[in-house]
Structure 1
Amino acid sequence: MTDSAKNSIRDQVSPQEWQTRVDLAACYRLVALYGWDDLVFTHISARVPGGDHHFLINPYGFLFEEITASSLVKVDLRGNRVMESPHMINPAGFMIHSAIHAAREDAQCVLHVHSINGVAVSAQKNGLLPLSQQSLFALASLGYHDYEGVALNEAEKPRLVADLGEKTALILRNHGLLTCAPSIADAFLAMYILESACMIQLRAQAGGGELVAIPDAILAGILAQAKAVTRGLGGALAWPGLLRRLDRRDSSFRD
């Protein structure tokens, strides 16, 4: 995108929206960097600050490694563009996101991936197992949603919302992973932990030996321990370092 086009978008939005655009573009780049992307499929959405029920999402057809702050498309809950943009979105892809944003005011960011490890665990009958410290953080706020085909059916929305409830993470059976949170940083951190837990589980199972499960009593106290580990900051503790990593590699997400 040219400097004039970038400046044009920045001039049309509030400083708060621009910061959200930069953070969301960074989240897309990080998903690509960690290998959780699925070509141009799946989405990460973020609520635009200001209370207008507008959201930012990726332009359809862009690789996650190509997303920039200016290229993100602003839409309403129906997926209609509310700001002029040369880019289209995938309305069907926004179905899952719009359902959660509408039901959860705290869901400032909804992150959905088809990661290989996540899909593999989603196909296992017992789902995520308490085999690692990472799995405990994920299990502390995790739901499951049964597969109903490609997410095109509006009638699926209430079932999806009910299965998520007030939880942070959802395993979509035979499909993938989803996290939502009050910030982009928190949604990314939740996905990092969930995806890591899935990867660890698959590697442990592949080892062929008898697995040792973590007792339920330890799981019961994990939320308080998580807050202590992050000093109550959650994703905000790691986010500045992740942005520095991106800036060292390619800072064009800020354009």
Structure 2
Amino acid sequence: MRDAMSDQSISEIRRDLAAAYRLIALEGMDDGIYTHISARLPSGPGGEQRFLLNPFGLRFDEVTAANLVTVDETGAVIDDPYGAGVNAAGFTIHSAVHMARHDAVCVLHTHTVAGVAVSSNQEGLLPLNQWSAQFYDRIAFHDYEGIALNLEERARIVADLGDKSVMLLRNHGTLLLGRSVAEAVKLALNLERSCKAQVAALGMGLTPVVLGHDIAEHTASQYQSMYDSYEQKGKPDPEWAAQLRRLDASAPGYLG
């Protein structure tokens, strides 16, 4: 397997993670100072695991490449330019996923109205359109156990996640994994619009047209092939480049 970080410098990972926080905020997908997006850094000089996380108490639209905090797999601070530390409890799920899934450079967790609504239904996300077909038969589920402070829950989340990159946390929200920060953000944005579309379609009171297995699986495979071309073959990602230009124009401070 190609090293997911071999083509990215630490500065690029910091840039992309700061961009992820800003984009999630721009899309109205943040939840105050709660929820997190984490990114794996290359191992330290002694082989230690290192991750980037937002400073405790900052809104997503205040996160910059320069103020991101470096922590180890337990959430202990290694480097803290801003000086506010991190919400170590909020990193517990992320750390467990990172340590179990070494293919995941980025772990992204949201509590959006649409995401929580869909996660609160037994059927989860239905293949109602091209957006949601991307996730057909590719979503894991984890039952709600209360606010995620119980360290024992981490093993159950990892077990329920398996080898999937998208999870609906029942009655709670969503969890996305990316082989890069860019992939995690794109998955999150597409899942959010899929959830919004489902809430809108079912709210019309008409009869939804659910895509059949063959066409839904074909569409999901098309998306997967495109994503693999960026993550495995190193093809330039024009969608992520466009999102970075969006931030350069609307929120250039994310780099500072």
Common fold: TM-score over 0.5 = yes
- Gaps spanning 5+ residues in structure 2: where? 1-7
Per-residue deviation, residues 76-100 of structure 1 (Å, max 9, x unmatched): 0110001244121111100110110
C-alpha displacement of 1:236: 2.8
Which residue is 2:5 aligned to?
none
Secondary structure of the corresponding residue to residue 29 of structure 2: coil
1:36 and 2:33 matched: no
Q: Partner amino acid for 1:197?
A: S
1:97 and 2:97 matched: no
Q: Partner amino acid for 1:185?
A: A
Which residue is 2:121 aligned to?
124
1:52 and 2:53 matched: no
1:151 and 2:148 matched: yes
Report the CA distance shift for 1:105/1:245 in structure 2 as closer, same or farther (over 3 A): same
Structure 1 runs of 4+ with >4 Å offset: 227-231
1:198 and 2:199 matched: no
User: Which one is further off, 76-85 or 24-33?
Assistant: 76-85
User: Which one is further off, 152-161 or 226-235?
Assistant: 226-235
Give the 5 Å matches for 1:215-230: 215-227=212-224
Match of 1:79 among 40, 63, 75: 75
Match of 2:167 among 154, 166, 170: 170
Per-residue deviation, residues 134-168 of structure 1 (Å, max 9, x unmatched): 11112242111100000101110111001111111
C-alpha displacement of 1:198: 0.4
Which residue is 2:241 aligned to?
240
Identity of aligned residues (%): 44
Give distance in 2, aligned partners of 1:179 and 1:227: 15
Give distance in 1, aligned partners of 2:246 and 2:48: 33
Secondary structure of the corresponding residue to residue 233 of structure 1: helix
Q: Is the 8 A contact 2:20 2:185 kept in 1?
A: yes
CA RMSD, aligned part only? 1.7
Report the CA distance shift for 1:227/1:67 in structure 2 as closer, same or farther (over 3 A): same
Q: Is the 8 A contact 1:138 1:193 kept in 2?
A: no
Secondary structure of the corresponding residue to residue 78 of structure 2: coil
Give distance in 1, aligned partners of 2:188 and 2:84: 27
C-alpha displacement of 1:193: 1.2
Give distance in 2, aligned partners of 1:200 and 1:178: 19
C-alpha displacement of 1:231: 8.2
Q: Is the 8 A contact 1:138 1:190 kept in 2?
A: no
Report the CA distance shift for 1:98/1:230 in structure 2 as closer, same or farther (over 3 A): closer
C-alpha displacement of 1:109: 0.1
Query: What TM-score does the superposition give when structure 1 sets the normalisation length?
Result: 0.90
Match of 2:15 among 15, 22, 33: 22
Q: Is the 8 A contact 2:130 2:219 kept in 1?
A: no
User: Which one is further off, 88-97 or 223-232?
Assistant: 223-232
Q: Partner amino acid for 1:94?
A: F
Report the CA distance shift for 1:84/1:129 in structure 2 as closer, same or farther (over 3 A): closer
Higher helix content, 1 or 2? 1
- Gaps spanning 5+ residues in structure 1: where? 1-14
Per-residue deviation, residues 215-252 of structure 1 (Å, max 9, x unmatched): 01222323431145568226933111000000101211
Query: What TM-score does the superposition give when structure 2 sets the normalisation length?
Result: 0.90
Which residue is 2:3 aligned to?
none
